[in-house]
Amino acid sequence: MAGAADERPPGPPAEEQLQQQHVACQVLPERLAEGKPGQGFLSSFFTNNQKCQLMLLKTLETNPYVKLLLDAMKHSGCAVNRERHFSCEDCNGNVSGGFDASTSQIVLCQNNIRNQAHMNRVVTHELIHAFDHCRAHVNWFTDVRHLACSEVRAANLSGDCSLINEIFRLHFGLKQHHQTCVRDRAILSILAVRNISKEVAQKAVDEVFESCFNDHEPFGRIPHNKTYARYAHRDFQNRDRYYSNI
């Protein structure tokens, strides 16, 4: 999402473009067929699209995880524009959303996002990928370890593995349950967008897990719930005040 809202980053090499199209075809078939980003804000009157747009708007305005990530993106020179960087579309399978690095756009799967809480998690998860895309040169399509690292961070920091979500999934555990959940969710996310074996996905996650699990930017901590996220947002906003006084 680097650059201004109306600007596009330089195009990737031809080989990488083909890899991007292959991934887009697997999960977001309409994007490849149209050859352009999907519907923008208020461009459709279909019920699913309207519902998706309204939930997105509420998420952007009220969710503390998302508000922190939006501030962090802007602080890093990658300001997010709702109309440019989000698109509600139908997706294949059970995928809830995705970050399309070729267009620097977050896709929200309007046919699979069930309710407001689900929208909050999906937007947070994908904004973490967008933040990683902004701050580092991530080889999404050529190095599965880069993808694995961002998936570990997204599972760890988005609330995917909160206690209440794990209870709803009927997953219970005591010792290091959060780490186990993060590892499992990261592997599932990789398998959803890459045609690789589970063993290869597990190996990639294992190789990056320690460093990426302990990378808490921009939250500064693991935000286990909205209260933690609000504290993290407050601390992030105070960073500039602190540095300006040095």
Note the pLDDT tens digit of each residue in 180-232.
999 999 999 999 989 999 999 999 999 999 999 999 999 999 998 888 899 98
- The answer to which of 71-75, 176-180, 212-216 has the lowest mean pLDDT is 176-180
Do you find a cis peptide bond into 218, omega within 30 degrees of 0? yes
Helix (H, G, I), strand (E, B) or coil at 87: strand
Buried b / exposed e along 177-207 (16+ C-beta atoms within 10 A): ebbebbbebbbebbebbbeeeeeebbebbee
**CA–CA separation, 106 vs 103, rounded Å?**
9
- Give just the sign of the alpha carbon dihedral 164, 150, 192, 188: negative
Q: Is-above-0.85 flag for pTM?
A: no
pLDDT at residue 165, as a whole number: 63
Helix (H, G, I), strand (E, B) or coil at 33: helix
Helix residue spans in 92-225 (DSSP H): 116-135, 144-157, 163-168, 177-193, 198-213
**CA–CA separation, 159 vs 161, rounded Å?**
5
Q: What is the DSSP string of 120-139?
A: HHHHHHHHHHHHHHHHS---
Higher pLDDT, 137 or 125: 125
Higher pLDDT, 10 or 102: 102
Query: Is-contact 152 208, C-beta < 8 A?
Result: yes
pLDDT at residue 174, as a whole number: 60
pLDDT at residue 171, as a whole number: 63
pLDDT at residue 245, as a whole number: 46
pLDDT at residue 137, as a whole number: 83
Residue appearing with tokens 């305005």: 61
**CA–CA separation, 113 vs 123, rounded Å?**
11
Burial environment of residue 61 by CB neighbours within 10 A (0 to 12, 13 to 18, 19 or more): exposed
Catalytic residue numbers?
Answer: 126
- At 46, the pLDDT band (50, 70, 90 cuts) reads low
* Side chain identity, residue 197: S
**CA–CA separation, 122 vs 161, rounded Å?**
13
Nearest to 156 by CA among 112, 101, 230, 212: 212
DSSP code of 225? S
Q: Are strands 86-89 and 97-100 parallel, antiparallel or unpaired?
A: unpaired
Residue appearing with tokens 């090499």: 13
**pLDDT tens-digit readout, 23-42:** 443 445 455 545 544 445 44
